[in-house]
Amino acid sequence: MRALFIGFGNVGRTIARILTLERSRFPGMSPLDDLVPVAIVTRRGGSLVDTKGIDLGLALEEMDSRGRFPEGHPGYTDITGVEAAGSLDYDVIVELSTLSIENRGEPAATHIRTALSRGRNAISANKGPIAFSYRELSSLAKSVGKKFLFETTVMDGAPVFNLRESCLKGCVVTAVDGILNSTTNYILSRMEEGVGFAEAVKEAQDMGVAEADPGNDVDGWDASAKISALANVLLDADMTPLDVDRHGIAGVTPADIRKAAESGKKLKLVCKAWKEKGKVFGKVGVEEISHSHHFSLVSGGGAVLRIHTDLMGPILITQENPDLYDTAYGVLGDLITLRQLCY
Amino acid sequence: MRALFIGFGNVGRTIARILTLERSRFPGMSPLDDLVPVAIVTRRGGSLVDTKGIDLGLALEEMDSRGRFPEGHPGYTDITGVEAAGSLDYDVIVELSTLSIENRGEPAATHIRTALSRGRNAISANKGPIAFSYRELSSLAKSVGKKFLFETTVMDGAPVFNLRESCLKGCVVTAVDGILNSTTNYILSRMEEGVGFAEAVKEAQDMGVAEADPGNDVDGWDASAKISALANVLLDADMTPLDVDRHGIAGVTPADIRKAAESGKKLKLVCKAWKEKGKVFGKVGVEEISHSHHFSLVSGGGAVLRIHTDLMGPILITQENPDLYDTAYGVLGDLITLRQLCY
């Protein structure tokens, strides 16, 4: 199975590490032993193309040590993602670039659209294409008989989309709710411990949890993209993050946190999507959660999703303390699924 | 798809209700519209055999109103489960009888063994065959190219076994722990509220949660059967409930509960299985759980399972308040899986 990787940041490099340096720790990865990475395209660090297969271990070493591929590397090129998706020969595109709300999920959606149009499979770790263009891209995949997988976009590799597909057969999902953005959850957890908002944001940045511009998280955009993706896939909606009733955590004060604590509650940024009279609604906002509610124990970088259906459940999926290996696994699991189905 | 049902108690009747009286509430059940129930065999209420298909609605009405099938019912017979499994023509046996620890999972295991040996598929809601004979029965299913499914045996239809199969591909499960027996969890929850042990047991019996003889639950046998099933399937063990280091809740006093509460803890009957130096161990026993631990919020009839793997997780699956529909769904989901795979 020949793979074109778009992006080689934290997630791409963790995938490469698992498949090379740390391969012996993970015996279950054997279905991917014949994976051939035919190209790695980055936006600022150069790109590599080699139809015989790129040495992932060497690419990892170079990116880790220099922050880019050296121009002398065999197969070095300055091809763009769109060019690579449209011209190279591969079986699956693996889209690992980051979410852009202002560009409405582009150029990731175009990479995937291009790959599917050419009869290739697509895996996305970028939630933009699912949050903004799911109905179009999933129809396209269906029409060409190819797979479009994106498990890691919500709660990393924890079962969400594949759970509905494989474990809730025959159930109709009626609503979902949960805590899905780790940066805001970390900030709120630290504020409970008495740390100020600005200081908690800075801590999250220093830990590499929040971006340099934390607006995507703090203003609820990342959470809105996730609830939009969930609504589109699980509730058959056709929405975008712009349709979500979105409230961030920027206005939350230490006094708010204290007030909630006095009545035995915690403040959490809760995401929900639900059906009402045939229409699907999405909402992100701070809620007071009682100490007896499962969401109250999801602290720091944890996450939880509760799925309501017409027959089974509700059930909750909880991640205690996810890290980059969980995100990388979401992509690796999709690659294994594809390998079993198609090659 | 022709089904032979062994047992027509609470679970069987709920399945029948969902597929007949309440069918319009559950549009996702359409893959089962051509299910043909060719026989329903009960131990004390008579049996029905009809190769053209039993009227499930009528069977349900009779069992609900009289507690047995009337001898005048078309196709009435006194065939036993073993005879039916060995002589009737069907595509899948659906084993809905109750767990027998003293009989080591029999006669359910024999029903399934007989069906598989004759090249039929098997679905079990009875955990006995998985707790006592999983390795043998799964090998047999593999050797005849048929399916052996049993999703509802642990945490009803909440994703457990199908989750490992479909959502944790490439991960090696290293340990599981959780709260899996609702009767004991209900009793401990009531004791926290000041109710005495004997009274809490009686309440559970009156609610129909505990059996008339509550020993299976109180002494940890049901929990041991579940952890044995989990160990056998997820950790590739070959154990039985007799191999589990088993401690029930019979010795727990109100003073124990108070003492735990004073140090901010709750007592829970925790089930675990784990690998150590190539061997798999199982344990059931009361543990003090801190209020910040996810298990502490699983009260009453709720359940939780935490899965640890080499790469992904840990993740937790939690049921808030399961009922008979969840148990029935576990079987219905397996029937849909079979329908999609085979017919």
* Residue A95 CA: distances (Å) to CA of A3, A83, A114, B133, B247: 10, 14, 12, 44, 50
Same fold, A2-158+324-342 and A167-319: no
| pLDDT tens readout for residues B106-132 | 999 999 999 999 999 999 999 999 999
pTM: 0.96
Instruction: Specify burial of residue A209 (Cβ count, 10 A radius: 0-12, 13-18, 19+).
Output: middle
- B265-to-A294, A340, B42 alpha-carbon distances in Å: 16, 46, 45
Does residue A185 surpass a pLDDT of 80? yes
Q: Which residues of B touch A312 (CB under 8 A)?
A: 157-158, 325-326, 329, 333
Average confidence score pLDDT of chain A: 96
**According to the model, what pLDDT value does residue A207 have?**
84
State residue A63's pLDDT score. 96
pLDDT number for residue A282: 98
Q: Which pLDDT does position A342 carry in this prediction?
A: 85
| Residue A208 pLDDT class (50, 70, 90 cuts) | confident
For chain B, what is the mean pLDDT?
A: 96
Supply the pLDDT for residue A321.
87
Q: What are the backbone angles phi and psi of residue A114, rounded to the nearest 5°?
A: -65, -45
Cβ contact (<8 Å) for A318 and B319? no
Residue with tokens 């945490």: B155
Q: Evaluate if residue B211 carries a pLDDT over 80.
A: no
Averaged pLDDT, B256-273: 96
Among candidates B164, B319, B298, B151, which has minimal Cα distance to B226?
B151
Mapping DSSP onto H, E and C, the string for B310-336 reads CCCCCEEEEECCCCHHHHHHHHHHHHH
Contacts with B161 (C-beta within 8 Å, 6 or more apart), sequence order: B149, B150, B151, B154, B233, B234
* pLDDT band at residue B213 using 50, 70 and 90 as cut-offs: confident
**Residue of A84, A337, A102, A93 lying closest to A219 (CA atoms):** A102
Contacts of A104 (CB under 8 A, 6+ apart): A128, A132, A240
Residue A211 has pLDDT above 90, yes or no: no
Contact A302, A332 (CB under 8 A): no
CB contact, 8 Å: B264 with chain A? no
- For residue B6, pLDDT over 90 is answered with yes
Distances A338 to A35, A147, A197, A270, B156 between C-alpha atoms, Å: 11, 7, 43, 33, 29
Quick: pLDDT tens for B182-205: 999 999 999 999 999 999 999 988
Q: Please identify which residue in the block is written with the tokens 């080591």.
A: B104
* Residue B209, pLDDT above cutoff 90: no
Spatial distance between the Cα atoms of A302 and A185, rounded to a whole number of angstroms:
8
CATH 3.40.50.720 matches B2-157+324-342: yes
Residue A49 has pLDDT above 90, yes or no: yes
Nearest CB to B167; choose among A162, A294, A315? A162
- What mean pLDDT comes out for the span B203-220? 85
pLDDT at residue A300 in the model: 87
Query: What token pair was written down for A119?
Result: 């009869």
Contact call for residues A92 and A335 (beta carbons, < 8 A) = yes
Residue B252 has what DSSP assignment? -
Query: B174 CB near a chain A CB, below 8 Å?
Result: no
What local confidence, expressed as pLDDT, does residue A209 receive?
A: 77
CA distance B215 to B241: 14
Percentage of chain A surpassing pLDDT 90? 92
Is residue A210 over pLDDT 80?
no
**HSE on the CB side for A284, CA within 13 Å?**
29
Tell me the residues of chain B between 283 and 322 that have a Cβ less than 8 Å away from chain A.
292-294, 296-297, 310-320
Taking contacts as CB-CB distances below 8 angstroms, the residues of chain B near A319 are 313, 315
State how far the Cα of A96 lies from the Cα of A113, in Å rounded to an integer.
Answer: 15
For residue A133, pLDDT beyond 80: yes
pLDDT, position B210: 75
B256 touches chain A (CB under 8 A): no
Question: What is the distance of C-alpha A97 from the center of its chain?
Answer: 10
pLDDT interval class at B342 (50, 70, 90): confident
Determine whether B337 is exposed, middle or buried from the number of CB atoms within 10 Å of its CB (0-12, 13-18, 19+).
buried
Of the partner residues A18, A158, A337, the one whose CB lies closest to the CB of residue B169: A337
**Assigned CATH class of A2-158+324-342:** alpha beta
φ/ψ of residue A253, rounded to 5 = -110, 160
- Tell whether B69 lies on the interface with A, counting CB pairs under 8 A: no
pLDDT at B59: 97
Mean pLDDT of all residues in A21-47:
97
Cβ separation of A169 and B333 shorter than 8 Å? yes
Query: Distance between CA A307 and CA A293 in Å, rounded?
Result: 15
Alpha helices in chain A (DSSP H): 10-19, 56-66, 81-87, 108-117, 128-144, 161-167, 182-192, 197-206, 215-218, 221-234, 254-262, 324-342
Do A343 and A30 meet the contact criterion of CB atoms below 8 Å apart? no
**Active-site annotation holder among B146, B226, B272, B283:** B226
pLDDT in tens, A230-272: 999 999 999 999 999 999 999 999 999 999 999 999 999 999 9
Share of chain B above pLDDT 90, in %: 92
Q: What is the pLDDT of residue A84?
A: 98
- A255: buried, middle or exposed (CB in 10 Å: 19+, 13-18, 0-12)? exposed
Contact at CB, B158 and A318, closer than 8 angstroms: no
Tokens 């051509």 map to which residue?
B34
Cα–Cα distance list, B304 to A92, A177, B145, B300 (Å): 37, 18, 33, 12
A100 band by pLDDT with thresholds 50, 70 and 90: confident
Segment B75-100 mean pLDDT: 96
* Ordered DSSP codes for B5-21: EE--SHHHHHHHHHHTT
Record: contact B333-A167, CB cut-off 8 A: yes
The domains of chain A are located at: 2-158+324-342, 167-319
- Of B343 and A212, the one with more pLDDT: B343
Q: What is the 3-state secondary structure (H, E, C) of B72-102?
A: CCCCEECCCHHHHHHHCCCCEEEECCCCCCC
Contact B333 A293 (CB under 8 A): no
Contacts of A248 (CB under 8 A, 6+ apart): A184, A218, A219, A220, A221, A269, A284
Instruction: Give domain A167-319's CATH superfamily.
Output: Dihydrodipicolinate Reductase; domain 2 (3.30.360.10)
Structure confidence at residue A99 (pLDDT) = 86
A226 is an active site residue = yes
Active-site residue, from A226, A266, A272, A283: A226
